[in-house]
Chains A and B, each alone.
Chain A
Amino acid sequence: MTGGRLAAWLAVPMRWYLGVLFIEACLHKIAHPGSFALDIATYDILPLVLINITAITMPWAEVAAGGLLLVGHRTRAAGWMITGMMAVFLAALSIALARGMDMSCGCFASQGAVDEDPISRLTVVRDLVWLGLALFVVAFDRGVLGVDGWLRRRSA
């Protein structure tokens, strides 16, 4: 097996993992947009006019990217979306940590769950790992075990 093919196969569990992760992360946000808006406001980064719009729309970008990664369709595009979102999350986390804020990251639950998911340097490391996985998928995924590969074989 060549290095490229090995990387393409390695990308499969990574995109499945990221897909499940992002779908899991967006469920609470879609169900409770008000809580998610409060989470965003807590970071104290976005102006008030952008908070609700972000809370309303971002979870749907997460579910789209997660779903596409899971089924292996438009995986590179979905990988770019995850990469972009992870970059934004990392920037927000770093700013909150630099300010010394003691809060929940709001990634999977609301601020009420601060004891379960408080922000820390470990949260930054965790997000960096996820960012790395997303970049790996962007670079090496070739549609193995996914809709993209199936469509390619069908059209060949």
Chain B
Amino acid sequence: MGKVKVKKADVWIDMTPMSDVMVLLLTFFMLTSTFVKNEAVKVVTPGSVSEIKVPETNVLTILCDKEGRIFVGMDNPRKMGDLVSGMASTYSVSLTKKDMETAQGAASIGVAMDNLAAALAQGEKLNEFQADKGIPTDSVNGKMSQFQDWVQTARDNNGKDMKIAIKADEGTPYKVIKKMMSELQDMNENRYYLITSLKSSEE
């Protein structure tokens, strides 16, 4: 009896086209995306029809959550470091080298100045520590408030080209926004970018 010879199928699959596609996708993602910053608080921005993009560099982001806690951050780590060290020297807070490294790595910082060293000493846990803090906006004895000092320091460090972006939660009471904007207006900062997410005009 003739044995039925089973033809051995070739199981080799050519992966070249697949890897081509992968490389393309990878390149696309690398070029078009920016890294998500680990911000101190979660903020849901309101929708708007405006299509203007956020400026890329030299931006001071003011973060404001639902409860009205305020955090500030710069777009790049070096500037963030400069901002924190500037503030530390104004309020004579001494920071260690490790504290400065934490400050540079932080996306945003929002604690009262007497708490700054303690917050930065938290290292990786900075965001957990400061989530329920925020920068105080009330001025003492007619002097600039700490929030105004942060903005002023950033302005002094980065010159007049620095832009101010406000990222507030859609549920933030207007009272808080009013207070914050009026402090900014007091120091002649009258132009802001309000960060929003896109929606259509039909909604």
Do A and B associate with each other? no
> Chain A interface (Cβ within 8 Å of chain B)?
none
B residues sitting closer than 8 Å to A (CB atoms) are none
